[in-house]
Structure 1
Amino acid sequence: MTFKIITDSTADLDENWAKENDVELLGLTITLDGKTYETVGENRLTSDVLLDSMQNGSKPTTSQINVGQFEEVFRAHAQEGHEVLYLAFSSVLSGTYQSSIMARDMVLEDYPEAKIVIIDTLAAAGGEGYLSILAAEARNQGKTLEETQSMIEGILPRLRTYFLVNDLYHLMRGGRLSKGSAIIGSLVNIKPLLWLDASGKLVPLAKVRGRKKGMKEMVAQATQDLAHSTAIVAYANDAEAAQSLKEDLLARDGIDNVLIMPLGPVISTHVGPGTLAVFTIGENAR
């Protein structure tokens, strides 16, 4: 028996790819200039519109997927007898994961035989997307839900996530980084390089003078101790820099394939315009 894969709009997956590969996307919402927008579907808020607004001074906020939304989706699959694997946005960065746990428990009261597996990816953006792609590939190869779960959980401690941001104001504003850590972002021409540590926290890794040096350092960090030959590059309104990162990564031993994914609106809200990110999988735990 095959199973259903669900993830969030924070995984930044292309919606056409998701449909073709039977990956269901649930959307967080964004409030921008007093109006609330969806991040999945035809009328979703695009990153381009959001980032343009942010550059003009807008301060958007995001809202997690609530318990009721999860319950509706999980209940529908339980009624159909579908096994479910939900790859959740990091519990450290959002309450979305906890909402999914509450909803699953409610559904299991009525459908105790249902199988709803929830994995806290401790990841975001291309990292969460990378895991979703690997899960879909495993399912397409005939792997069971249990086998896929085991594979993903084995990768989680080895997933590498690096962000190069123009400044740390947006992360501080959204509560994803302390004010003390954000001070370095105000220094002239200092480009903060951050990563997700083993606990899923976004923490400063290095202070680099200049964007080009920051990109070089991010590639160096991301290509240490590689276990998979695919890397993912993500960007917020700087496709040219993303292409440059791709070329630099492909020049490194151990990287044979690089996927470029625009940062979606939810993640862009918190990291801001001009952000670049690289995601790889290492041999050893972080």
Structure 2
Amino acid sequence: MTWNIVSDSSCDLRMSAFESDLVGFETVPLRLQVGAREFLDNDDLVVPDLLDAMAAEKSASSSACPSPAAFARAFESGDCTVCFTISANLSGTYNAAVMGREMVLEEHPEKKICVIDSKSTAGAMVLLIRKAKALMEAAAGPEDFESICDQLRLYQAALRTCFTLENFDNLIKNGRMRPLVGTLLHSLGIHVIADATPQGTIHVADKARGEAKTYKAITALMRQSKDCTGAEVVISHCENLAGALKLKQQILEDLPVHSVDILPCRGLTSFYAMEKGLILGY
């Protein structure tokens, strides 16, 4: 009997960093289209190359969710599989995973497959994967599968996500921000701070000028959103380790969290966060 965890590549945990003797892990990559070039968001993607291509491309870039068949192939490798996807309100990936599940169950009705909408991305998905791994490793057998899925749904509902951006080029090119606004924000050193709603949509929560005020505003937002006592925090950074380390220190000073881990953004999260962007899951 094999336990299996699947996620799309908006999760910033790379397959090479996952370790377990009992549980498998696979990411199903999204594709990023930048001009005539296509980037596959797998462990081999070189993020600086993607960012350079986006900076040089004058037209809007785009992302494409994985096919149902790609998810089906990942689901076939396990007897009991839990899959986490980026928010269904931001991408068609969740629907593709559900279709992949149905494809597999038609051929293998004995398999157990649960698809959970993270209603988020990045670090929140990392935390879900870590929770699933711990529950699976402690499970007595497949009879615990439904209980594990129920626990993961409750855990997902308790997670929060927020992020801050310094680079607005992608938002401008995709028509989501007026060029004048983006130029003013950048020239004034203003950081946009946003969070994910319970429905998985994006809400602009605050703006701050300069790093120090931005990080204080983030910890204030975290405190308002939930009781962070004992919380695990994952910071994803887009080519901004120095900023992530400063934010980590601010969180540890301001909040009674259990731990703060730092991971580099993969392709999809880099595509939207852009250089120096920071995404928090907690």
TM-score for the superposition, normalised by structure 1 = 0.85
Instruction: Tell me the alpha carbon deviations over residues 143-178 of structure 1, each in whole angstroms, 9 at most, x when there is no partner.
Output: 632222122111222211111101444246457xx5
Q: Is the 8 A contact 2:167 2:276 kept in 1?
A: no
Q: Is the 8 A contact 1:51 1:237 kept in 2?
A: no
Matched, 1:158 2:155: no
Tell me what 1:117 maps to.
Answer: 114
Structure 2 CA distance for partners of 1:135 and 1:171, relative to 1, 3 Å: farther
User: CA–CA distance in 2 between the matches of 1:267 and 1:115?
Assistant: 29
Tell me what 1:284 maps to.
Answer: none
Which moved further from structure 2: 182-191 or 221-230? Answer: 182-191
- Compute the displacement of 1:262 (Å): 0.9
User: CA–CA distance in 2 between the matches of 1:183 and 1:203?
Assistant: 17
SS at match of 2:254: coil
2:211 maps to a residue whose letter is R
- Compute the displacement of 1:183 (Å): 4.6
Which moved further from structure 2: 244-253 or 184-193? Answer: 184-193
User: CA–CA distance in 2 between the matches of 1:184 and 1:53?
Assistant: 20
- Compute the displacement of 1:2 (Å): 5.1
Within a 5 Å distance, the mapping from 1:9-20 to structure 2 comes to 9-18=9-18, 20=20
Q: Number of residues paired by the alignment?
A: 271
Q: Is the 8 A contact 1:184 1:192 kept in 2?
A: no
Structure 2 CA distance for partners of 1:57 and 1:214, relative to 1, 3 Å: farther
Structure 2 CA distance for partners of 1:112 and 1:135, relative to 1, 3 Å: same
Tell me what 1:240 maps to.
Answer: 242
Tell me what 2:198 maps to.
Answer: 198
Instruction: Tell me the alpha carbon deviations over residues 202-250 of structure 1, each in whole angstroms, 9 at most, x when there is no partner.
Output: 1200122223211211122224411543211111111111111111112
User: CA–CA distance in 2 between the matches of 1:138 and 1:204?
Assistant: 34
Q: Is the 8 A contact 1:9 1:27 kept in 2?
A: yes
Structure 2 CA distance for partners of 1:159 and 1:249, relative to 1, 3 Å: same
Q: Percent identity?
A: 24
Which moved further from structure 2: 44-53 or 153-162? Answer: 44-53
Structure 1 unmatched runs, 5+: 281-286
- Compute the displacement of 1:126 (Å): 1.0
User: CA–CA distance in 2 between the matches of 1:88 and 1:8?
Assistant: 6
2:47 maps to a residue whose letter is S
User: CA–CA distance in 2 between the matches of 1:185 and 1:69?
Assistant: 40
Q: Is the 8 A contact 2:229 2:255 kept in 1?
A: no
Tell me what 2:280 maps to.
Answer: 278
SS at match of 2:160: strand
Q: Is the 8 A contact 1:27 1:40 kept in 2?
A: yes
User: CA–CA distance in 2 between the matches of 1:106 and 1:223?
Assistant: 43
Structure 2 CA distance for partners of 1:185 and 1:135, relative to 1, 3 Å: farther
- Compute the displacement of 1:49 (Å): 2.0
Structure 2 unmatched runs, 5+: none
Tell me what 2:85 maps to.
Answer: 88
Structure 2 CA distance for partners of 1:168 and 1:200, relative to 1, 3 Å: farther
Matched, 1:34 2:31: no
